[in-house]
Chain A
Amino acid sequence: MALDTLETLAAPPLPATTRRRHLLDVDDWTPDELHALLMDAAHMRGVLAQSERLDTLRGRVLVNLFYENSTRTRVSFELAGKRLGADVTNVTASGSSVEKGESLRDTVRTLQALGAQIVVVRHSRAGAADLIAREIAGAVVNAGDGWHAHPTQALLDAFTLERHLGSVAGRRVVILGDILHSRVARSNVWALTALGAEVVLCGPPTLLPLAAVEMYTSRAVPGTGTPRRVAVEPRVERALAGADAVMVLRLQRERQQAGLLPSPREYTARYGLSPEHLRLARPGAVVLHPGPMNEGVEIDAAVAHGAASLIEEQVTNGVAVRMAVLALLAAGRMVESES
């Protein structure tokens, strides 16, 4: 069933078939699970469009534990939780809620003692979500950990692409920019390749991770055993040729100070997604960006706001996908506590 058809059905979504306790990454998700989640998300978009509220998480306490500032992701989870009826609390490391010097482990144990049943965590360190998942009885949603993973971003990107391309299977998706330091890129490779897309990682050689092709291709898609299709291509012209979608990553200025790049100017000229670069892709190719954008650095304003851009829609879809994820975990917990 097409995703936009599902949006018109007002019925609350059926929880996906598999139960999951946490969402740490999507590396171990099967294509069936991904498709089920995307269908749930389509239902949720319908719920959002009709300004409905569900009571899936009524009486549950959801804590947004954010060690890095990210207003857009935090608000997205907050809205998703509230739409599902959860009690949502935000804890930010910059505020007084997280004691200085208190370990992540202790913070999480405290939150659990205070009744947190779902912890959504954003942290600068890879593995932080895994660490929390080992400590608490509740559910953990990884909202981004270091360079490692950002699974809800990958799911919302996959959802956005499937809505516009019909299916990503057999499509060529280019992830363009600082792949080395990108959790968005890493999680997207898992999700998109599991859905059958070919993913091309493109960026300056200094910003490409080592042995990426070897690593991804040695880890077949769970459930089907299909090999993942991943390529690394530092030459932007070759990468973009025939692309059905381009996902542009944010460029951090400190890469220049670290000696990884000569200048933002040269980066923009070589790797920025300009209208000229975009013309190398297939006609009708779409453009994504996880935000926040540096317009004029990694993406030209004309592209960011042009016809091919799905960037604003990504934000809307983010809430729907996060609702689907939270509902899935809540269902998983219910099954588990009954057994």
Chain B
Amino acid sequence: MAEIHIRNLVKKFQGNVTAVDSLSISIDDGEFVSFLGPSGCGKTTTLRMLAGLEDPTSGEILLDDQVLFSSSSGRYVPPEKRGMGLVFQSYALWPHMTVWDNIRFGLTQQKVPKDEQNERIASVIKLLQIQGLEKRYSFQISGGQQQRVALARMLALRPKILLLDEPLSNLDAQLRIEMRSELKRLHERLSNTTVFVTHDQLEAMTLSTRIAVMRDGKLQQYGTPMEIYREPANLFVAKFVGSPPVNIITRELSPKHFDSALKFLGKRGEGAEKIAFRPEAMMINPSAAAQESRWQMKGTVAAVLPTGPEWILQIESEQVLLFARMETEPKFAAGDHCTITLDTPAFLIFDAEDNRIT
């Protein structure tokens, strides 16, 4: 069992920076939860408080029934007693030790007997496929290998919880995809409760059982990847996940479209201030054939961007640029006129506070 409960966690730094603002979240046993948000939103700080490296200003952290930190009772469990393994963004391998020694150091500290040490080191080395690097120093191995060693170093300690701080962000694109599936494989195999920090929505979407989207230290939404994508709690979440980004129509920038969309939505559109829809929900046709149950607007193709498996269209319509995604080759060139058609379910509707209404 390894469940994490975070309650009203607050972290203020000197100079009155509130890095984490009353964060409450529960992570079930065996879950793979991602903290997702732009740089500076408090992800690393949260992770470090979980690990015990940073003192929260207030709040509580529980692991199962054990209180790891509580500002009201003053309880604090030091990092090494929390049973958590943390992989730093920089990997933080000790440069004066070989790969083998890097992995062994923690085992020695935990007073694991010699025989078992060797056994455990050999098994994590095999698990992470870094055989043959044992005698090398960190500057003698590649970034991807350093990443694996940093993971191995923590896994050798058999942590109940694995904490990963942007583990893929320092890798090149190819390696990143490889490591991503590696992480998924590891999680399926070991089924540790894992907390994963990233600013890459694609990583969060592909790996997580649940995603916690953060902004300015505040939790925006906590849910499965599909919930986050399809039912974003607010405009920030909608904009942050999905690529190309969600299209937004506002009353100020495109009043004509906005009014016509409101009229089309009828009762559903009450209180709406912004209307959004995903690129793949748009149907693009050369000319309009009026359809009662659908909403349409005219536009001009600004650019066609083939990505290989699909095509991204950039369409200009009433001074806004919209992105559309097509799976079949479009019969448009830049400058052509087109009609955009949307189904009712495609609409994401937000109120004046940017919260989603429906």
Q: Do chains A and B interact in one complex?
A: no
